[in-house]
Structure 1
Amino acid sequence: EIFLRLPAAADLARASAACVSFRRVIAGHPFLRRFRILHPPPLLGILCGRLFPAQPPHPSAAAAATYADADFSCPFLPSSPGRWCRRDVRDGRALFSPRLREGSDPFNSMYNPRDLVKEFAVCDPLHRRYLLLPALPDHLADQVQQPDILECEPFLAPPGVDDEHPSFRDFR
């Protein structure tokens, strides 16, 4: 209960270095889950094309300044540059899907709407890692109608109270 009242993750890290029993408590998943609920991640800035970092006197201004030059376009994604379009950003992760091919028109009868709903990538831009999500099965992708694709907005769901953040160990 005392560790839960520490104001910042840096204070928690210092407390865990004090002794083995403190570290065991602090590193446990139940404790970390409760700590994340009570202490949401700080606001570092606004992402609108590029990062506009928080400015002083905001408490996160110093941390935000370290990410001011970060590239959130994820150029390390596979295939040709400019192929991916950022769809959502949440909790330090970014969701990307393919762009429309040049010359493709969503109202054209030759356009295949499945192209936009089958392939997604989740990125960790600060660590330059990504994970390609499994493709949607054809029977689900076929349910997308041509007019609906213009209103299709994929997004990352926030973790629930009991959910852990996914592991990025499998990222390239």
Structure 2
Amino acid sequence: MADDLFRYDLMVETALRGVVRDALRRAAERGLPGNHHFYITFKTSAPGVHIPAYLVERYPDEMTIVLQFQFWDLEILEDQFSVTLSFNDIREPLTIPFEALTGFADPSVQFGLQFQQTADGETPTGDDDDPSGGDTPDGEDEAADDDAGTGEVVSLDQFRKKK
């Protein structure tokens, strides 16, 4: 019973989401230097996600966005971030809570994180689905697949509570 009090697995998830928040803050303040770029995968139907309806229709479960050359109005709050991206030459604002994230990668330095989600916000203890992330808009799937194998994904399963 005592080991239920701490839930280290949830603490680790929260801390690692803080890494993403800090990386985004640096990008908002200073831009992305060199070849740095971010792949951010999130649940499109998660609470607090605000994206255009046609994107939810196209990506009903999960979507990956890329922050590299063309992004605007990147704002980071404690629990979410917002950014404007171009889809078919139309700028669209997106708001994504950090709790909705399922993956983050910066392939330029071979860094990646994978997060777990369930409907009730708890971290699952079962096997992972496809660890490579979700679909990307505007035909970026191939680029995401090319970079996916170059970085190391940190899996949190070793820290999770086993039932």
TM-score (norm 1): 0.25
* Larger of the two Rg values belongs to structure: 1
TM-score (norm 2): 0.26
User: Larger strand proportion, structure 1 or 2?
Assistant: 2
